[in-house]
Amino acid sequence: MKSSESSSIGNMKALILVGGYGTRLRPLTLFRPKPLVEFANKPILVHQLDALVAAGVTQVGITLIFSHETEPLGTAGPLALAREILSSNPEPFFVLNADITCEFPFKEMVQFHKGHGKEGTIVVTRVEEPSKYGVVVCAEDGMIQRFVEKPQEFVSNKINAGMYIFNPSILDRIEVKPTSIEKEIFPAMADSGNLYAFELQGYWMDIGQPKDFLVGMCLHLTSLKAKGAKLATGDGIVGNVLVIGPNCRIGPNVTIGPDVIIEEGVCIKRSTIMKGSKIKSHSWLDSSIVGWNCVIGKWVRMENVTVLGEDVIVSDEVYINGGKVLPHKAISASVPEPQIIM
Amino acid sequence: MEDPNGNAIIKAVILIGGPQKGTRFRPLSLDVPKPLTPVAGYPLVQHLIESCIHVPSVKEVLILGYYPADEITPFISEIGPLYSSIKIRYLQEYTRLGTAGGIYHFRDQIRAGLSNTSCFILINGDVCGDFPLSEMLEFHSIKRDIPALLTVLATEATRQQSSNSNFGCIVEDKNSHRITHYVEKPETFVSTLINCGVYICSLDLFPCISKIFSQRQANYYAGEIQDNNGDCWESIALEKDIITPSVGNTGCVYVYRSNRMWSQVKTAGSAIYANRHYLALYRERQPERLANSRCKTRNTPCKIIGDVFIHQTAQIDPTCVIGPNVSIGKNVVVGPGVRIKESIILGDSVIQDHSLVMYTIVGWNGMIGKWTRVEGTPCDPNPNKPFAKMDNVPLFNDEGKLNPSITILGCHVRVPSEVVVLNSIVLPYKELSRSFSNEIIL
């Protein structure tokens, strides 16, 4: 006998909104869709799929929205497109933004949503500087009272975390014309007391930009460790085939993809090394993202959110400070100031 | 007097100036007199001494300057035994006497033991190079209608560099090599032939200076001249006061041309250039001074690229890669996996694991942490322009920004692990706590 809760989540569907061209994460996303870029060694999309599967969700729709990146957190359009599928049963469904990382508490979200019994639940997260965002003002029970864009004075420190549960009835609120769910639908739902805020525990980060991608990675790894996940310690094997030479210092907060070779005396901190890359001896990397199949020479220094696209070759002894290097480039001279290398 | 082979004995005089000079060599010259700064493993002035010693008839080298004697004499006593065939002495001027004033003041010491027809070598201490002194002496002694008073070593510079007030410019008579026109540091173009600051002087020079001295003295007593700019009235410049008036068709100043290695050593940046060229000279003439990767018996089991000097007391890890054009001083310790190129590492410094040092001078007792990058920008002469010389670039450009230059760490500077120091000048005893680029760090 299944419990009523798990059987109902089993019937739930999820719609994942993956952004358009992912321009903010370039050069990683120049030739590769953002959802397939590995975050902590797993494609961004797969983190959510895994969490949904773990929560018992059976059907997931993925939609691509080509929107202006100034409004990263989705629009209502895809919901209208998926109307038939989403309204095929009366169960509520998930709508998830693909660009975020957190612990994905889907079961708890469902519990909360069913607990208040209204039309929609928005996951909110606390931020330190709410004035940079649109904030959500809600009552103690979570009922949302209003939304305030970039508040000058403190009204709330909770912001929309980009994860929602809706009853199919929300679809009646959406017309076929382009609609911003955040700006048009949510305020109307809040006015009628139909929208509740579920406060996220633990970490949250929008990983749509390289700088935040690295912050998110650190948070993700810290959370994995806190949950008792076995992270690599010392010289060892991470991923499929990883060679780490002697006298290296890897970490803290580093993810290394499969088939990566790290030679002797390399120091890597707060960075992601994607599949198939090679870091030669005595190099030093901090706060950098090395794309797929790159080769980093000896005594190279990379820092300050340097991002290398696929198949970038960096010569020995080069210094890259905050460079964004497009795929298939060979870098033979230092880049001492942040810039884009076409 | 003659040496046992019957050659007339000659002397060499090296002018090293004093503490008020060499300020562009800071921060290194804050701690050690500029002439004693090692380049290619040996103090700048020692290279000049050695170039004189290669001339067989030189029996004495006199070093003239106004540094306090206790700053220079320990060095003289240290190197004296190395050159047993000659005497080396430091003669201290009581004040800044100028290039001709200094030799005039010590004329008796210079003349002593020389025959009246003899001559002496005179070298300005702020140049470096491969001077053809024997050839110059031979040229100087050629029998002429008007015997040579002075022979000036000259080299070719670019048109642009010779007209921006850096050099003394020479016009010669192509057949006799007599100097027909001389201008010290002209602001417009005069000639691409420039004075190298290396001379052969006849003893007849002293009566010439004496005339000027007496004239000055008379004027001084008549109240017509005052001391100015800290230069006393006795200060006499060889270039302006002697050469300029003595040239012309009936003059007695000759020029000897050479296109061998030569450079001014004014800024610390030029020390990197001088380092490279002296190392190249070792390769040609004293290869035993160079570290050699094929020679495992010396203390160089690590990979050596190009010309490298490593002091025998330095400890270099076998996993290092050193070169080209690196000099490593006494008791320096270099940890595993370190890369050094185009740099001078002065005595008692420590460079820890995996760090990279390029186009940098690390002062005495420097400390560089692990995975640190210390890098400068070379300011070498343009290799694509024939005869281009080292530019003495000012520290700041027209917009008030620091011109990219080699990185210089003063003595006892500590650079922590994992930072980058780029195109910066760090004054002595500074403990850095973060990365720096394009800064002077007080």
For chain A, the structural domain boundaries read 13-206, 231-340
CB proximity under 8 Å: A 249-268 to B: 264-265, 267
Beta-bridge mates of residue B153:
B256
Q: Please answer yes or no on whether A336 and B371 come within 8 Å at the CB atom.
A: no
- Identify the active-site residue in A13, A34, A114, A150: A150
Q: What is the pLDDT of residue B30?
A: 77
Q: What is the pLDDT of residue A6?
A: 43
Beta-bridge mates of residue A199:
A124
- Inform me whether the C-beta atom of residue B147 falls under 8 Å from chain A C-beta atoms: no
Task: Tokens for A322, please give them.
Answer: 């905050």
Q: Please answer yes or no on whether A282 and B371 come within 8 Å at the CB atom.
A: yes
Q: Looking at the domain covering B10-264, what would its CATH class be?
A: alpha beta
Instruction: Tell me the pTM.
Output: 0.81
Task: Label the pairing between strands A134-138 and A93-97.
Answer: unpaired
Q: Please answer yes or no on whether B336 and A299 come within 8 Å at the CB atom.
A: no
- Inform me whether the C-beta atom of residue B358 falls under 8 Å from chain A C-beta atoms: yes
Q: Give the C-alpha separation, B311 to B40, whole Å.
A: 10
A265, A319, A321 ranked by CB distance to B337: nearest? A265
pLDDT per residue over B357-374, tens digit each? 999 999 999 999 999 999
Q: Give the C-alpha separation, B335 to B315, whole Å.
A: 8
What is the mean pLDDT for each group of 10 consecutive residues in chain A (342 residues)? 46 77 75 83 87 80 50 59 79 87 91 91 89 85 86 86 90 74 85 91 89 90 79 49 75 86 92 93 95 95 95 95 93 93 86
Q: Please answer yes or no on whether B339 and A298 come within 8 Å at the CB atom.
A: yes
Cα nearest neighbour of B422 on chain A: A336
Q: Which residues of A touch B375 (CB under 8 A)?
A: 319, 334
Q: Please answer yes or no on whether B356 and A265 come within 8 Å at the CB atom.
A: no
Query: For the CA atoms of A184, A186, A190, A196, what is the dihedral angle to 10 degrees?
Result: 180
Q: Which residues of A touch B338 (CB under 8 A)?
A: 282
- Inform me whether the C-beta atom of residue B371 falls under 8 Å from chain A C-beta atoms: yes
CA distances from A70 to A74, A75, A95 (A): 10, 12, 20
Q: What is the pLDDT of residue A176?
A: 65
DSSP string, B299-310: S--SEE-SSEEE
Beta-bridge mates of residue B181:
B171
CB proximity under 8 Å: B 303-342 to A: 319, 336-339, 341
Mind spelling out the 3-state secondary structure of A150-167?
Answer: CCCCCCCCEEEEEEEEEC
Q: What is the pLDDT of residue A133?
A: 79
Of A198, A248, A200, A250, which Cα lies nearest the Cα of A223?
Answer: A200
Task: Tokens for B310, please give them.
Answer: 């490593």
Q: What is the DSSP-derived secondary structure letter of residue B365?
A: T
Q: Please answer yes or no on whether A284 and B353 come within 8 Å at the CB atom.
A: no
Cβ burial, residue B433 (10 Å; 0-12/13-18/19+): exposed
On whether ipTM exceeds 0.85, the answer is no
Cα nearest neighbour of B337 on chain A: A282
**Shortest Cα distance, chain B CAs vs residue A216, angstroms:** 23
Q: Give the C-alpha separation, A151 to A148, whole Å.
A: 6
User: Which of B319, B358, B373 would best serve as a mutation to test chain A binding (most A beta carbons within 10 A)?
Assistant: B373
Q: Is CATH 3.90.550.10 the classification given to domain A13-206?
A: yes
Peptide bond into B386 cis (omega under 30): no
Long-range contacts of A247-251 (CB under 8 A, 24+ apart): A247/B336, A247/B337, A247/B353, A247/B354
Task: Tokens for A149, please give them.
Answer: 């864009």
Alpha carbon A89 to chain centroid distance?
A: 29
In CATH, the number for domain A231-340 is 2.160.10.10
Q: Please answer yes or no on whether B373 and A301 come within 8 Å at the CB atom.
A: yes
- The one-digit pLDDT tens for each residue of chain B (442 residues) are 565 556 678 899 999 988 876 667 778 777 788 899 999 999 999 999 999 998 988 999 999 999 999 999 999 999 999 998 899 999 999 888 888 999 999 999 999 888 888 899 999 999 999 999 999 999 999 888 888 899 999 999 888 777 777 888 999 888 889 888 898 888 888 889 999 999 999 998 999 899 888 888 888 888 777 665 556 788 888 888 888 888 876 778 999 999 998 988 888 778 898 999 999 999 988 899 998 754 444 555 789 999 999 999 999 999 999 989 999 999 999 999 999 999 999 999 999 999 999 999 999 999 999 999 999 988 777 666 666 776 666 777 777 777 788 899 999 999 999 999 999 999 999 999 999 998 888 8
Task: Tokens for A189, please give them.
Answer: 């739902």
Q: Give the C-alpha separation, B33 to B76, whole Å.
A: 13
DSSP string, A34-87: GGGSEETTEEHHHHHHHHHHHHT--EEEEEE----TTS-S--SHHHHHTHHHHT
- Inform me whether the C-beta atom of residue B301 falls under 8 Å from chain A C-beta atoms: no
Q: Which residues contact B104 (CB under 8 A, 6 or more apart)?
A: B97, B206, B209, B210, B213, B236
Cα nearest neighbour of B377 on chain A: A334
**Shortest Cα distance, chain A CAs vs residue B24, angstroms:** 26
Q: Please answer yes or no on whether B336 and A286 come within 8 Å at the CB atom.
A: no
Asked if A42 is an active-site residue, the reply is no
Q: Please answer yes or no on whether B371 and A267 come within 8 Å at the CB atom.
A: yes
Query: Which helix (H) or strand (E) covers residue B208, if one does?
Result: helix B205-221
Of B322, B323, B295, B328, which Cα lies nearest the Cα of B309?
Answer: B328
- Inform me whether the C-beta atom of residue A280 falls under 8 Å from chain B C-beta atoms: no
* Euclidean distance between the first and the last CA atom of chain A, given in angstroms as a whole number: 60
A264, A298, A319 ranked by CB distance to B420: nearest? A319
**Shortest Cα distance, chain A CAs vs residue B342, angstroms:** 13
Q: Give the C-alpha separation, B361 to B374, whole Å.
A: 10
Q: What is the pLDDT of residue A66?
A: 44
Percentage, residues of chain B above pLDDT 70: 91
Q: Which residues of A touch B373 (CB under 8 A)?
A: 284, 299, 301, 319
In CATH, the number for domain B291-441 is 2.160.10
Cα nearest neighbour of A320 on chain B: B420
B337, B375, B418 ranked by CB distance to A281: nearest? B337
